[in-house]
């Protein structure tokens, strides 16, 4: 969400701004587990299952995975990850911070891990999914807004003159965002998002977006949870949009999603109350705002942060720039066959400074081509 | 925190504003359990202990407490609460929403409970504790600010000319708040708060403020947790101040404290990073902002809300103004012997509209005099 947020950040200072956003809904825990256990093809197993050893290939290297895991100490918790420095770094770090009595032990309540969403947990190319949602919302809302046929930026969307995020200015994107994401409750918004997700699919992969999630990352989320970590999503996307599927797809509940948001207002009508989304930006959670929002909302410095674009750099710096053990990770989109090779110099999910800083800061650059057995 | 926040709310619109705040620290889980099990005197027992039946007076009415509690189904989880409509309402509500297959069953992930802090969980009279902290901070910081000797509102504090929250205007209180609560990290601020709490005590009760917590409320928090509720504090006080003791005193971790906050900024110095508190108000979490912040941060409508002043009304209305089962509760400070009788017409923790609305909205008014066996 790098460029989107940089663009928006330019604009937000003109509009006045500040903090946090939310949603309302809860569902699909069971679905998430089913999907997770079923996998999307190939060898894909639950990190916290006990009966997986026999399904591993005989040449599979086996790992101990820290406290509380003695019974399954010889099961690889990250079977979709190839052997390499990234996988070693993750396993070694988790083992370190969960080894009671060890020098790097971290109490469970301090095991906070923060993950970017677009490009880190699911596919963001060739277009950020939250963008596609709000652009489609313009079509869905057009009959209630006849004036949009002659008002930019809406008229360009409706006429098909401009398509794709890159053809709109930061201010125009903000205008589309607030017009299509407000004047309803978070619950209503999430229902719209859920409906849209159910009837949309990725242009190249042909799968629903909610299945264009990275299998190695689902294993990592599950592994971290099994080791006592509390996992947050910290995203430039609208947080109610992400909350519409985070529980089902990632097993992450709404209160562990921190994202961009419009302002909220409490209203009461005849004894019925709700908190509605207003057509005004509250916060764009990208760049340094990611670190600031983590501190504001979680109240703790993460010990693990994982992103994929330069907009995630402050989050990684926050996690790894304090005392004590920490781990920073970056997905490097370098697989033109199974996904895309796009991040260097891209207007979507651009990653350049992050690749330069990785060595200096000790972050692991995860080559999706080399480090992952499977992408989806 | 009613009047404080109303005053501040007037001011905040002049300063520009918006959302959320945070802290950094984690400690004392074990201490909290010890304190909780030890109690402060009198009959005080853990709600989730299994061996309490024999210590109950023979005339103690015994309750079943819903799912997962069969083994201790005959133990009163709220022994410091007298029989009455408030206790009945709580037990009945919890039993309802935890009865699997019942018409009012609520899935555990939707069992969100929100509690005000000052006057609800601990004593707020004769002065809000967060006020006392920032006023004392003026003394502590004075040697670094010689200009304060001739600058209001600081000079009045330093000369002793004005004492107590009521003698300062809303703008002055805000000015004191931002001057004394910024230019440091949340971790540093919490350490200051912790130190101040350790060396301060209540003027009448003679106990540290962290022991002026209401025993019946600690039992209620523990009971709700044992029944799968996730409990949040939603407070007009600075959230980092409350995070400095919430885990130890209430068993509530920092990420479940939502409060007032100054703005935050991410900074990096020679590879060390931190998020610092800026001298500018971000959000004052009182009145309708309580509901808005709950929606933004938690993303769910609470099913139980508990407050004590008119500033908590929107939070209670939000919890009880939707569909489905819900419970609203208000502490009524009507015990001049064991605590204070102050809330009607008070400038501290004023409760008037709430008492009028309680019948209409079905909220339980908890008489601290009649409903509680013990206060502390």
What interface predicted TM-score (ipTM) does this complex get? 0.82
Q: Is B240 on the interface with A (CB under 8 A)?
A: yes
Mutant choice from B266, B281, B322, B361 vs A, greatest count of A C-beta within 10 A: B266
For residue A32, the SS3 value is helix
**If you average pLDDT over residues B71-83, what whole number do you get?**
84
In this prediction, the residues of chain A whose per-residue pLDDT falls under 50 are 1-72
Task: Say whether A272 and B298 touch across the interface (CB within 8 A).
Answer: no
What is the distance between the alpha carbons of residues B361 and B353, in angstroms, rounded to a whole number? Answer: 12
Q: What is the pLDDT of residues A128-183, one digit of tens each?
A: 999 999 999 999 999 999 999 999 999 999 999 988 777 888 889 989 999 999 99
Bridge partner list, A267 = A274
Exposed, middle or buried, A222 (CB in 10 Å: 0-12/13-18/19+)?
A: buried
Both tokens assigned to A95:
């083992």
Cβ contact (<8 Å) for A109 and B261?
A: no
DSSP-based three-state secondary structure for A331? strand
Q: Which of B264, B314, B318 sits opposite A296 (nearest CB)?
A: B264
Is the model's pLDDT at B300 over the cut of 80? yes
Comparing CA positions, the residue from A234, A357, A86, A106 lying closest to residue B271 is: A357
pLDDT-based confidence at residue B73 (cuts at 50, 70, 90): low
Closest by Cβ to A264, choosing from B110, B296, B301: B296
What is the spatial distance between Cα B170 and Cα B6, in angstroms, rounded to a whole number?
Answer: 8
Q: Is B142 exposed, middle or buried (0-12, 13-18, 19+ CB in 10 A)?
A: middle
Question: Quick one: pLDDT at residue A286?
Answer: 95
- Residue count of chain A: 376
Quick check: B110 and B300 in contact, CB under 8 A? Answer: yes
Q: Report the half-sphere exposure of A221 (CA within 13 A, side-chain side).
A: 27
Segment B237-289, tens digit of pLDDT: 999 999 999 999 999 999 999 999 999 999 999 999 999 999 999 999 999 99
Token pair recorded at residue A38: 């079923």
- At residue B162 the predicted structure's pLDDT band, cuts being 50, 70 and 90, is confident
Continuous segment of H or E residues that includes residue B279? strand B272-283
CA distance B315 to B28: 29
Task: Please tell me which residue of chain A has the smallest CA distance to B240.
Answer: A299
The pLDDT score that the predictor gives to residue A73 is 56
Pairs of residues, one from chain A and one from chain B, whose beta carbons lie less than 8 Å apart? 170
- Pair A47, A222: CB distance under 8 Å: yes
Contact partners, residue B119, CB within 8 Å, separation at least 6? B1, B125, B308, B309, B331, B333, B343, B348, B349
Please report which helix (H) or strand (E) contains residue A3, including its range: helix A2-15
CATH T-level topology, domain A2-367: Rossmann fold (3.40.50)
Give the ranges where chain B is alpha helix by DSSP (H): 2-15, 29-38, 85-98, 129-141, 154-159, 170-180, 186-199, 215-226, 239-243, 288-293, 313-320, 353-361, 368-371
Q: Do A19 and B17 touch (CB under 8 A)?
A: no
Closest partner residue to B299 among A107, A243, A292, by Cβ? A243
pLDDT for B60 equals 36
Is A186 in the B-facing interface, judged by CB distances under 8 Å?
A: yes
Q: Could you tell me which residue, B57 or B131, shows the higher pLDDT? A: B131
Mean pLDDT of B296-310: 98
Query: Which among A24, A296, A318 is the nearest to B22, CB-wise?
Result: A296
pLDDT at B343: 95
| Closest-CA residue of chain A to B27 | A109
DSSP 3-state of A296: helix
Residues 6+ apart with CB under 8 A from B83: B61
CATH for the B2-44+81-371 domain, from 3.40.50.1000, 3.80.30.20, 3.40.190.10, 3.40.720.10: 3.40.50.1000
Quote the pLDDT of residue B37.
Answer: 32
Domain edges within chain A = 2-367
The per-residue pLDDT for range B14-72, each reduced to its tens digit, is: 333 333 333 333 333 333 333 333 333 222 222 333 333 333 333 333 343 444 443 44
| Selected residues 67-86 of chain B with any CB under 8 Å from a CB in chain A | none
Out of A230, A289, A297, the one facing B22 most closely (by C-beta) is A297
pLDDT at B126 over 80: yes
- Total residue count of chain B as it appears in this document: 376
Best CA proximity match to A48, nearest among A197, A215, A221: A221
* A107/B25 Cβ within 8 A: no
Residues of A in contact with B266 (CB under 8 A): 288-289, 291-292, 314, 317-318
Closest CA to B111 of B290, B305, B248: B305
For residue B181, the tally of other CB atoms under 10 A from its CB is 26
Q: Which chain A residues touch B270 with a CB distance below 8 Å?
A: none
Residue B323: the pLDDT is: 94
């Amino acid at each position: 969400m790098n460029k989107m947020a940089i663009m928006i950040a330019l604009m937000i200072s003109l509009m006045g701004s500040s903090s946090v956003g939310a949603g309302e809904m809860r569902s699909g825990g069971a679905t998430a587990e089913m999907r997770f256990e079923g996998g999307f093809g190939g060898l894909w197993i639950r990190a916290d299952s006990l009966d997986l050893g026999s399904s591993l290939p005989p040449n599979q290297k086996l790992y101990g995975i820290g406290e509380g895991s003695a019974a399954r100490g010889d099961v690889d918790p990250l079977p979709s990850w190839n052997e390499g420095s990234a996988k070693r770094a993750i396993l070694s770090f988790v083992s370190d911070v969960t080894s009671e009595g060890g020098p790097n032990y971290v109490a469970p309540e301090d095991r906070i891990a923060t993950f970017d969403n677009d490009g880190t947990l699911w596919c963001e190319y060739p277009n950020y999914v939250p963008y596609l949602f709000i652009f489609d919302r313009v079509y869905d809302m057009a009959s209630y807004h006849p004036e949009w046929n002659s008002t930019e930026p809406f008229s360009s969307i409706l006429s098909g003159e401009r398509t794709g995020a890159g053809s709109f200015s930061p201010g125009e994107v903000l205008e589309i965002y607030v017009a299509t994401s407000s004047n309803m409750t978070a619950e209503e918004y999430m229902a719209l998002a859920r409906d849209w997700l159910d009837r949309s699919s990725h242009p190249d992969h042909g799968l629903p977006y909610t299945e264009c999630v990275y299998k190695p990352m689902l294993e990592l989320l599950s592994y971290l949870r099994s080791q006592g970590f509390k996992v947050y999503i910290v995203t430039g996307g609208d947080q109610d949009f992400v909350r519409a599927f985070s529980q089902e797809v990632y097993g992450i509940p709404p209160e562990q999603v921190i994202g961009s948001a419009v302002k909220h207002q409490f209203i009461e009508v005849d004894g019925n109350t709700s908190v509605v989304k207003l057509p005004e930006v509250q916060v764009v959670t990208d760049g340094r705002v990611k670190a600031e929002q983590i501190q504001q909302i979680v109240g703790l410095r993460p010990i693990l942060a994982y992103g994929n674009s330069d907009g995630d750099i402050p989050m990684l710096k926050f996690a790894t720039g304090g005392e004590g053990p920490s781990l920073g990770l970056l997905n490097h989109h370098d697989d033109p066959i199974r996904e895309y090779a796009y991040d260097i110099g891209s207007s979507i999910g651009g990653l350049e400074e992050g690749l330069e800083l990785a060595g200096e800061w000790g972050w692991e650059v995860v080559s999706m081509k080399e480090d992952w057995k499977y992408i989806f």
